[in-house]
Amino acid sequence: MDTRIIRINSNQTGPYVNNNNVVSVTLDQNQVVDMSRSYLEIVMHVDSTDGEPASGNGIYNFEMVYGADPSNPIYNASLIKNCRIISTTQGILEEINDVNVLNANINSFLTSRDNKLSRQYQSLRQVFDRNQEKYNIFREFNGEGDVSSRNVKARVPILLSDLFGLGKIDELDLRKTGDIRIEIELDINNISVDIIASLNVYNLETVTGTGASVKKLTLAEKVVNLDGFPFWVGQKVEIVSGVKATPTGISETLYSTISSIELVKGAGSMLDTVEIEFDYLVVSLANGQTATPTIQAVGESFNGNDNSLSLSFDQVELVIHQMLDGTPRNEDVMYLTYDTENSNGNQNTRYQDQFILPPSCVNALICFRSTLGDDVLQSIDKDLTDYRARLDNINLTDRRVEFGKPFYYEQLVKVALNMDSDLKDLAPSTDASEDDIQEAENDNDRDFKIVPITCPITPSNKILQLSVNAGGAGVKNINVFKQIQKIL
């Protein structure tokens, strides 16, 4: 059915910071909206401060980091901590706390491995390529010619279907709800950016002095094309070898920016090589004197100087697909949403607790984060060994369930089917925590451990009793996501 795209600005203006991180957008009534194709768009940018401006300001590459561990993968939905939808006629329709934790863990088994890897090229976090390099949506890198790379503003889309049950409805008639307000709390405190560490050293061809300083050097390695070349115009690099000329004097190590990259024919070779020109003189040799420079990208430890990056959340917009056919939809809308309950395992190695599940709860997912703080999204606590669950004093299994064993995956299959989905990934999936894309497809250090519970709709509340065994530091942070059925 035909739709038109409408952009709605948020009620609050940016930039947003830690103590000003709640944003809302209002949708007017008397329209029908395709929520499944609508999304929030967060405008962001990253500024850099060069620690060595005397030799030119470089365009630095970086990676997005959630919390203290740079291996934590970041999808777009990781930016939002809590969210809710409020109706003027029916009150709160949905309110999900820790929605970024929920997304990170549901995706671990309901998203295929290929889709996990492909999504990262469209999102805040990408896998390393075979040059052990990452690229991101905040930079426009030019790998050939003399046009400098540049910093750009990124428009980060977050599908409403990744946040809400109503976000999966393809024809939502707002006449049922009146005006609705979508509220999100940005997880600004845990999101940061880090300059990526230096690349491997690359050899340049030997230079013979003629008494004149030069700005162009040639890569010693032969290449077929520039597709996999790990340098770009405007990049700050380190050149090391013999005697160098800098703007302030002679040094063995020079930090300079690349001003042009050109694919040229290597001398006496049918293969191609790369000629690199720099902003400043890089080799100054007497007649007949030789030097064999090396080059590497400048990373987080560049020259001991204070390179810094700052991330800014500038603006939030809601992009909706409005149905051109405004005919009222009179049928009821059934959707699934989540209620969240948090607990602390207090580092018990024999953890026992009970949780109350609402009458309309059909599934529950219990996630275990491996730190005592809030800077981890994934339920990857290595210390957990097995669990057993009882619902209203009835055992859900005839024995304890060991994580990572076939019986555990059988429980995951049950909850996936009860979500009207299927299990798409049984292997531990790194989501870019490894340094190589091939290794990124399988990482035993990221074996998700989630307790999946299926339960029937009942006239009254249900009591879930949970027993978890763990070694080491025991059970820590716990998030219980109760999937409940609602009718609008």
The CATH number that applies at residue 242 is: 2.40.30
Q: Name the amino acid, one letter, at 94.
A: E
Do residues 209 and 105 share a domain?
A: no
The model's pLDDT over 47-65, given as tens digits with 9 standing for 90+, comes to 888 777 777 778 888 888 8
Is 256's pLDDT higher than 90?
no
| 8 A C-beta contact, residue 367 and residue 361 | no
Q: Which residues in 349-404 belong to E strands, given as ranges?
A: 350-357, 361-369, 384-391, 394-395, 401-402
pLDDT of residue 243: 55
| 8 A C-beta contact, residue 478 and residue 367 | yes
Q: Is 304 a member of any domain?
A: no
The two three-digit tokens of residue 5, written as one number: 């795209």
d(CA 485, CA 229): 51
The model's pLDDT over 353-400, given as tens digits with 9 standing for 90+, comes to 999 999 999 999 999 987 656 678 888 888 899 999 999 999 999 999
Do residues 280 and 337 share a domain?
A: no
Q: Is 56 a member of any domain?
A: yes
Q: Give me the domain span that covers residue 252.
A: 202-298
- Cα of 40 vs its chain's centroid, Å: 16
- The residue that leads in pLDDT, 71 or 470, is 470
pLDDT of residue 174: 93
The two three-digit tokens of residue 329, written as one number: 């939809």
d(CA 456, CA 454): 7
* Bridge partner residues of 321 (DSSP): 5, 34
C-alpha dihedral, 442 to 447 to 448 to 449, nearest 10°:
160
Do residues 168 and 281 share a domain?
A: no
pLDDT of residue 245: 45
| 8 A C-beta contact, residue 143 and residue 232 | yes
- Backbone φ, ψ for residue 169 (5° rounding): -85, 125
Domain count, the chain: 2
| 8 A C-beta contact, residue 464 and residue 390 | yes
d(CA 195, CA 47): 12
Q: Is 306 a member of any domain?
A: no
Confidence band, pLDDT 50/70/90 cuts, at residue 179: very high
Confidence band, pLDDT 50/70/90 cuts, at residue 249: very low
Do residues 431 and 379 share a domain?
A: yes
Do residues 70 and 169 share a domain?
A: yes
pLDDT of residue 226: 76
Q: What pTM was estimated for this model as a whole?
A: 0.86
Do residues 288 and 366 share a domain?
A: no
d(CA 79, CA 24): 15
Q: Is 380 a member of any domain?
A: yes
Residue ending a domain, choose from 274, 298, 322: 298
Residues in the chain: 488
Is 351's pLDDT higher than 70?
yes
Q: Is 303 a member of any domain?
A: no
pLDDT of residue 299: 67
The two three-digit tokens of residue 408, written as one number: 């555990």
Q: Name the amino acid, one letter, at 78.
A: S
d(CA 415, CA 428): 18
d(CA 43, CA 46): 11
Three-class secondary structure of residue 57 per DSSP: coil
| 8 A C-beta contact, residue 310 and residue 68 | no
| Strand (E) or helix (H) holding 406 | helix 406-418
Pick the range with the lowest mean pLDDT from 191-205, 316-330, 336-350. Answer: 191-205
Look over the chain and give the mean of its residue pLDDT values, rounded to a whole number.
84
